[in-house]
Amino acid sequence: MKEKPLYLLLGFLALLLWLPLLQGQLKIVNSGTLSGMVAADSTTTQFTLERWLDGSFQQAVNEKAQVNTGFRPDFIRLRNQLDYTLFRKVNAQVVVGRNDNLFEQAYIDAYFGRDFAGSEAIQERVRTLRYVQDTLDKLGKTLVFIYAPNKARFMPENLPRQAYDETRTGPTNYDVYKKYGEAAGLRQIDFNAWFRDAGRKMKHPVYGRPGIHWTEYGALLAADSFRNFMNALPHRRFALPELIWNDAQEGVTSGPQGAEDDLGKLLNLIVPISDNTFFHPYLEVRSDDKQPKPAAIYIADSYMWMWSDIGIPQRLNSRYQFWSYFYDVWSSEWPDKKNIKDIDPMAEVMRSDWIVMLYTECNFARPGGDFPERAYAYFTGKK
């Protein structure tokens, strides 16, 4: 009888050893998926003599076995939660600031000027954009360069202390672009400054703790200002739809949606970071169906996704394209993603009314990608 507890203990330990194997094969419990993790491709475990000899086959089999281990997502979330709760450590490319605010290093570097592209390069790019802007104006089209906000600039008081300990290398791309852009007469909308000055006074958050991009509410405020800016241009040819929502709506304040907690998801915690103060208003549109809407091309970085998710281009434009980093192309006119090489960019420009460049400052090394140079070469005949 004295041996019974020992047998029970050994049986329990054996069960613990077998449970991951059983879970991996039978999927007894739905462990969910991990954000930012890519499952091993089954084709990588195909056996060849060459792969056996160079060791790549063994490595692929080992990686696949690790990925498919039972309860692996649960164990990783448990480890991540303990690391974060006890040591403020994260197992992802995320910077933890004060008050549980999350950042990306690139946005911090941009705020401190550590990625400065150089005054001459920026000045030349502004000159190119001004030429393209003037040429498009003559053709009855509108180019506008929008400075999307930067969370690090919006709330520098919440940056981690070590962010200030690093060396600042000089002026920022944002400051120099704005300076030369204003001097050259480039058509600009500066949401960096607007968010910094007015965003804190808003009734609802324009940035959430677990996200690096603006909230739905912040994106909506920016979209409304963008709409008003475009509607007030002296050479405008369109009566744009009016965006209407109620800041005092009840029952629409909730947890994060979509990209509002994009960095928080990457932490893969058991208890997610969230301040539960996100505001998701019901958006209405008032428009005259008899008035034409502009066709638009948005050349933008990831800040454009929130505008797309809440339906801004769908409501303001008759048709639109989103050229992500001047690389991937999404359009209201076709169902699947394309590459910029699959289309004729300047032909699309010539049949559009707006060209909107929307970039945040960590992507100011070459905002617009190759578009400014491609457009300049097209209009001047210079290659």
pLDDT digit string (tens) for 287-328? 877 788 999 999 999 999 999 999 999 999 999 999 999 999
Evaluate whether 356 touches 129 at the Cβ level (below 8 Å): no
List, as own/partner pairs, every contact residues 221-225 make where C-beta atoms lie below 8 angstroms and the sequence separation is at least 24, other chains included: 222/148, 222/149, 222/191, 222/194, 222/195, 222/307, 223/307, 223/310, 223/312, 223/316, 225/189, 225/191, 225/194
> For the purposes of burial, counting CB atoms within 10 Å of the CB of 148, is it exposed (0-12), middle (13-18) or buried (19 or more)?
buried
Q: What is the pLDDT at residue 211?
A: 94
At 29, give phi and psi (nearest 5°). Answer: -120, 140
Which residues lie across from 242 on neighbouring strands? 286
| C-alpha span between 256 and 123 (Å, rounded) | 39
Indicate the angle between helix axes 119-138 and 173-184, nearest 10 degrees. 40
Name residues whose C-beta falls within 8 Å of residue 232's C-beta, 6 or more positions apart in sequence: none
pTM of the entire predicted model? 0.86
Percent of the chain with pLDDT over 70: 82
| C-alpha span between 245 and 240 (Å, rounded) | 16
Asked whether the predicted pLDDT for residue 22 surpasses 90, the reply is no
Structure confidence by residue, pLDDT tens digits, 70-103: 567 777 888 889 999 998 899 889 999 999 999 9
State the chain's mean pLDDT as an integer: 86
Residue 222: enclosing H or E segment and its boundaries? helix 216-231
| C-alpha span between 242 and 303 (Å, rounded) | 22
- State how far the alpha carbon of 361 is from the alpha carbons of 39, 96, 106, in Å: 33, 20, 9
At 193, give phi and psi (nearest 5°). Answer: -70, -40
Q: What is the pLDDT at residue 40?
A: 47
